Amino acid sequence: MTTKAVAIEEVEKDNGSFDAVAFSQNAFSSSKALAAVFDHTLLKAEATREQVINLCEEAAQYRFACAMVNPAWVSTAYTALRGSGVPVGTVLGFPLGASLSVSKREEAVELVKLGAHDLDMVLNIGMLKSGMNDRVQQDIRGVVEVAHEAGAIVKVILETCLLNVEQKLRASELAIAAGADFLKTSTGFSTGGATPEDVALLRGVAGSRCGVKASGGIRSLADTRAMLEAGANRIGASASVNIVRELRGE
């Protein structure tokens, strides 16, 4: 058995179970159920107002879990989605995670005021690699406190492509201890995206304590199935519409 497999097996013993098979089967039972697991995403620097509004219209039409946009477009997305029941998601400390903790917290304050419900924050990767666990946890907790007080949720992006197994496990535990609602694999802007192996590792740590979001490079129905079967219960993708249409056979 590999070191990674041993690590997953050990954490699964302590953190409760998440039935990935049942969740995946339910998600693929209909296009509506599948759409509900997607954060419909547009984070390109060159994204225009028109493209953001189009993303929101698609999110409302397909009933995606949220419309994920850059901070500058949160108010636009909130207006476009008002009355639809689909929340606005956004990112902070993105994509490097190296912002000041006070900046992340203040950004969170402003974003929830503008109407963001899902806050996907990047943890401080350099501090994690330096063994500065308390600082990493405090960095996350500052955002979590703001979000939860406002009724919002926080997904902590680990950027797994930059971490070894031990660092992934430690980052996951620190994020959960800080109150994260989801562990998230990737920004999609680094050297790699989500893999089923990393999703399984994060789910092994999370158990039923929090969600797991797979993001980065998920472009097909097959990619989506692999991530859900590995333990993800949220998918971040810009190809959400095409993936749902693929399930419909369109």
Which residues are known to be catalytic?
120, 184, 213
For CA atoms 37, 43, 47, 50, the dihedral sign is positive
Choose among 182, 187, 105: nearest CA to 150: 105
The four Cα atoms 211, 212, 213, 217 give a dihedral, to 10 degrees, of -170
Classify 237 in phi/psi space as left (phi over 0), alpha (psi -120 to 50) or beta. Answer: beta
d(CA 36, CA 64): 5
Q: Taking the CA atoms of 53, 152, 198 and 29 in sequence, report the sign of the dihedral they define.
A: negative
CA–CA gap between residue 205 and residue 25 (Å, rounded): 22
- Give Cα 30 distance to the centre of its chain: 22
User: Where would I find the H helices in 91-132?
Assistant: 101-114, 125-129
Q: Where do we find the tokens 């953190």?
A: 15
Query: 154 phi and psi, to 5 degrees?
Result: -125, 130
